[in-house]
């Protein structure tokens, strides 16, 4: 093995590994697919001396896999690498709307960008070090989670508990805006709003009904009105359902809303606004549940510390490392950054189209991404 500065990376082999696990479709709600991906990943660590912990964390989700390096490293914590193996693409996406194909530098497929490409780079970097029997300054732990795409509802407590034992956190989410890493993210919130009115025949007793849908329509507009681009706050009502028949005044209606905010003060304010939602019709009751699912990932001295170390690694490779603007998407790095742990996100592949039928990675990003990760594992102390 040569140093990360001039390492010879087998890009084709890594792309083949990415394809291998992307071919196993693993939407969050498909535990068998998630677990099959974990089985494949575990096989990659054979011969490295790593040890494994595999946990069943909640019914309805796949397992959580932790892999620990054989190197004892230092005594003041190690490096935690966070990756998720679940995707948003339903089973069948690979067969029709998003088959594997390569168009120049772009390689298309479900989950190749978010984030099976990034986790494969990290494992490849680790394997290069382990097989060369190079002792890293710090011990390394990988955590592969099954539920990031739905807010890490089952894995969050495990992420936070493991992170508390480490000195640095590296997140293999995809890069942004032309190869930039991520040093800040918005916080996220999810809310369920339910309306309960009074049913009645839409023709014979219209005046006796109290429409849950009509009351909810006003609330939808209220929620959408919470968006304030100047403050970096956005809201979105993404799901709505209600009613029992077109000739019945609807008794029930429910919506699911998403919220993104920049800081904890905004989070508290917006949570209060959601839970203060009321119906303008006294005959319709409103119930609000939910709240923050991920705290904001705010850039501070602890983030700058790790970014500067990564920038030094990139400089030794002849590259300039840049961080992108704060992204609206959350990640598991939000949990560790708010704990005060030096966290660097967006260390995966570059590309575009996450969660869409044009999702792709840039093959040219595999080499520098792998070398940057290898350099961090070799130099962080």
Same domain, 219 and 348: no
Helices and strands per DSSP (H, E), number in the chain: 9, 16
Last residue of a domain, one of 232, 259, 294: 294
CATH code of the domain containing 215? 3.30.70.360
Question: At 321, phi and psi to the nearest 5?
Answer: -90, 130
**pLDDT of res. 303:** 98
Residue 209 included in any domain: yes
Question: At 15, phi and psi to the nearest 5?
Answer: -60, -35
**pLDDT of res. 325:** 83
Residue 348 included in any domain: yes
* Residue 279: both structure tokens together: 């119906």
**pLDDT of res. 86:** 98
Region 325-341: mean pLDDT is 93
Same domain, 100 and 242: no
Same domain, 30 and 168: yes
- pLDDT of 161 > 60? The answer is yes
Same domain, 156 and 118: yes
| pLDDT above 90: percentage of residues in the chain | 92
- pLDDT of 74 > 80? The answer is no
- Is 326 or 371 the better-scoring residue by pLDDT? 371
Q: What is the C-alpha to C-alpha distance for residues 178 and 106, in angstroms, rounded to an integer?
A: 13
pLDDT band at residue 147 under the 50/70/90 scheme: very high
Q: What is the DSSP letter of 326?
A: P
**pLDDT of res. 89:** 98
**pLDDT of res. 315:** 97
pLDDT tens-digit series, residues 97-118: 999 999 999 999 999 999 999 9
Residue 250 included in any domain: yes
Residue 57 included in any domain: yes
Same domain, 109 and 217: no
pLDDT band at residue 177 under the 50/70/90 scheme: confident
Region 30-35: mean pLDDT is 98
3-class state of residue 193 by DSSP: strand
What total of structural domains would you count in the chain?
A: 2
- Strands 166-171 and 252-261, by their bridges, are unpaired
pLDDT tens-digit series, residues 345-367: 999 999 999 999 999 999 999 99
The structure's pTM equals 0.92
Residue 357 included in any domain: yes
* Burial degree of 75 (CB within 10 A; 0-12, 13-18, 19+): exposed
Residue 224 included in any domain: yes
Same domain, 25 and 81: yes
| pLDDT above 70: percentage of residues in the chain | 98
Same domain, 209 and 69: no
pLDDT tens-digit series, residues 197-240: 999 999 999 999 999 999 999 999 999 999 999 999 999 999 99
Q: What is the C-alpha to C-alpha distance for residues 111 and 356, in angstroms, rounded to an integer?
A: 10
**pLDDT of res. 84:** 98
- pLDDT of 2 > 90? The answer is no
Structural domain containing residue 89 = 11-185+297-379
Same domain, 279 and 330: no
Same domain, 209 and 63: no
Residue 4 included in any domain: no
Last residue of a domain, one of 265, 294, 323: 294
Same domain, 200 and 264: yes
* Residue 240 · residue 254 · CB < 8 Å: yes
Same domain, 172 and 96: yes
Residue 6 included in any domain: no
Same domain, 76 and 169: yes
CATH code of the domain containing 322? 3.40.630.10
Last residue of a domain, one of 241, 273, 294: 294
**pLDDT of res. 71:** 66
**pLDDT of res. 8:** 84
């Amino acid at each position: 093995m040569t140093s990360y500065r001039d390492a010879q990376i087998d890009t084709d082999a890594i792309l083949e590994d990415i394809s291998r696990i992307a071919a196993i479709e693993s939407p969050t709600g498909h535990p068998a697919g998630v677990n099959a991906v974990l089985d494949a990943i575990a096989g990659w660590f054979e011969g490295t001396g790593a040890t494994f912990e595999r946990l069943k964390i909640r019914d309805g989700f796949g397992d959580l896999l932790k892999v620990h390096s054989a190197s004892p490293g230092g005594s003041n914590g190690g490096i935690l690498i966070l990756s998720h193996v679940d995707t948003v693409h339903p089973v069948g996406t690979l067969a029709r709307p998003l088959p594997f194909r390569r168009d120049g530098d772009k390689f298309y497929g479900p989950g190749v960008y978010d984030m099976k490409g990034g986790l494969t780079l990290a494992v490849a970097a680790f394997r290069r070090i382990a097989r060369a029997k190079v002792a890293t300054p710090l011990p390394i732990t990988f955590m592969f989670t099954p539920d990031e795409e739905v807010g890490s509802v089952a894995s969050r407590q495990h992420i936070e508990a493991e992170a508390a034992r480490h000195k640095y956190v590296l997140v293999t989410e995809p890069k942004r805006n032309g190869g930039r890493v991520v040093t800040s993210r918005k916080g996220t919130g999810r809310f369920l709003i339910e309306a309960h009115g009074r049913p009645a025949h839409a023709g014979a007793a219209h005046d006796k009904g109290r429409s849950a849908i009509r009351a909810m329509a006003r609330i939808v507009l209220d929620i959408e009105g919470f968006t304030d681009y100047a403050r970096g706050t956005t809201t979105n009502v993404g799901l709505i359902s209600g009613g029992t028949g077109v000739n019945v005044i609807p008794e029930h209606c429910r919506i699911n809303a998403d919220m993104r905010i920049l800081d904890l003060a905004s989070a508290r304010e917006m949570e209060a606004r959601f839970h203060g939602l009321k119906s303008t019709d006294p005959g319709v009751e409103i119930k609000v549940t939910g709240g923050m699912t991920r705290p904001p990932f705010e850039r501070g001295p602890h983030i700058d510390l790790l970014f500067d170390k990564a920038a030094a690694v990139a400089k030794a490779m002849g590259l300039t490392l840049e961080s992108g603007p704060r992204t609206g998407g959350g990640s598991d790095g939000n949990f560790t950054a708010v704990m005060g742990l030096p966290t660097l996100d967006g260390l995966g592949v570059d590309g575009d189209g996450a969660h869409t039928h044009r999702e792709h990675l840039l093959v040219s990003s595999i080499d520098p991404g792998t070398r940057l990760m290898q350099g961090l594992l070799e130099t962080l102390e």
